[in-house]
Homo-oligomer: A and B are copies of this chain.
Amino acid sequence: MATSRIRKAMADIEAGTVAAQIVGTLSRNGGMSAAQIARLTGLARSTVSTAVAKLKQSRVVVEVERMALEGAGRPGTLLALNPLAGTCVGVHLADREVQFVVADMSHTFIAERRFVVGADYDPEQALAIVKAAFEEFYEANGLSRQSLLGAGISVSGPVGRNGVLQRGGILPKWAGLNIKILFSSVFEAPILVDNESNCAALAELKWGAARGFPDFVMFKMDLGVGGAIVNNGHVITGVSGGAGEFGHVSINPEGELCRCGNRGCLELYASFVKPIEQLTRVHRKPMTIESAIALAETGDAGAIRMIADVAEYGGRGLAMVGTILNPPHFIIGGRLALAGEMLFAPMRKSYERHTLIKAQDGMPTTFGLGKFTENDSLLGAVALVLDNHQALVAT
């Protein structure tokens, strides 16, 4: 039972010690050199070396080849937490989909799946899906369910600090429920819950397009519009978990009713729900974001126009956020980002037109494309666990 010995060695590390600092740093950052650990923790290089030697002896820390790790910068071996030291799972409660992923403490993703469900799926259904996936995936990969260190849950909606979903726009049957308590029937480990866009931003910060940007705004355009604000490496969640709900800024108080209960929200103009309806009507066949982008790429004027119109409103939304936060960097996520320059060119023009600080004034805000358009929220659910590893082990 080498595995359980390693887990015990990790659990025995006392909070506040040098070893705990190193384990926490590796949990948050994945594979790193001893020099990087020293820089991030502020510990002396020799202190790190001594502690790492002990952690290697107990096999909590192992050396891994650089290539085994995503995104690491230089050749040679790196230090990482032992994959046998523990596992974590991520769940994303999405619009008409439940997503599930398993990872280990070395930041290796082991298995991932999406389960299509009805628009009004309830907790009972989702819990059954997640429980079955948890059992199946752990069985199939020879993992012990006792190795679970924590589960991260990403939710399509604002989540309070207590784990309660504040509003049920996308998940009507979940409004007011405590997600943390619900999932404690499946996972015998600490559970962390956050909003899907906050999770997406965490994934981009940890492994994706936001590496090296401690201050950025994630702006997601899909069937909904949302985002997250990252300041000094931390997501601003807001007092009720509602920060970053860019799609629900009302840009027209006399406009149409939004699913949130207000009128004229940005999402009504900048999401792809209405363009899909229009394209479906014109082309007399069901369309999706992906098929509309494919159509636009063939030169279809209507599809190009739909993307450009959404880009105009997306640019207005970005300009509102830009005027309020003046961030160094925007990362555009959501499936509309897959349209590339067809979206970005008109959107940058609209941003420049409507924002206060123009490109020629001082330092301009830069733009980038999210790396994990397909599964950023799910990966971010795992990041929730890895970021809070020390707190979890201590509980």
Contacts and interface: CB of A to CB of B under 8 A. Distances in A.
Contacts of A320: 249-250, 320, 324
Interface string A327-352: 11000000000000000000000000
A158 interface: yes
Given A245-B324, A324-B244, A326-B239, A232 B229 contact: no
B324 A239 contact: no
A328 to B, nearest CB: 4
5 contacts: A237-B326, A240-B365, A250-B354, A262-B356, A320-B320
Nearest to A266: B323
Interface string A232-273: 101011111111111011110100000010100000000000
B238 A325 contact: yes
Nearest to A164: B362
Interface size range on A against B? 35 or more
Nearest to A361: B166
Contacts of A354: 250, 253, 262
Given A243-B324, A245-B323, A357-B242, A158 B236 contact: no
Contact of A243 (B234, B250, B325, B361): B325
A323 B357 contact: no
A231 B236 contact: yes
B236 A325 contact: yes
Interface string A37-63: 000000000000000000000000000
B246 A324 contact: yes
> Sorted from nearest, which 10 A-B pairs have the closest CB atoms?
A238-B326, A240-B362, A242-B326, A239-B328, A242-B357, A248-B356, A243-B326, A166-B362, A160-B362, A239-B363
Nearest to A326: B238
Contacts of A389: none
Interface in A298-336: 316, 319-321, 323-328
Contacts of A249: 319-320, 323-324
A253 B316 CA distance: 9
A66 interface: no
A-side interface mostly: loop
A326 B245 contact: yes
Contacts of A248: 323, 356
Nearest to A231: B231
Given A253-B316, A253-B354, A320-B249, A361 B326 contact: no
A240 B357 CA distance: 8
Given A166-B361, A326-B245, A362-B158, A319 B250 contact: yes
A145 interface: no
A167 interface: yes
Contacts of A365: 239-240
B231 A323 contact: no
Given A166-B357, A167-B357, A262-B356, A363 B240 contact: yes
Nearest to A263: B354
A321 B166 CA distance: 18
A245 B320 CA distance: 10
A237 B357 CA distance: 13
A116 to B, nearest CB: 28
A364 B166 CA distance: 11
A143 to B, nearest CB: 36
Interface in A25-44: none
Interface in A197-219: 215
Contacts of A363: 160, 239-240
A356 B260 contact: yes
A164 B234 CA distance: 28
A326 B356 contact: no
Nearest to A317: B324
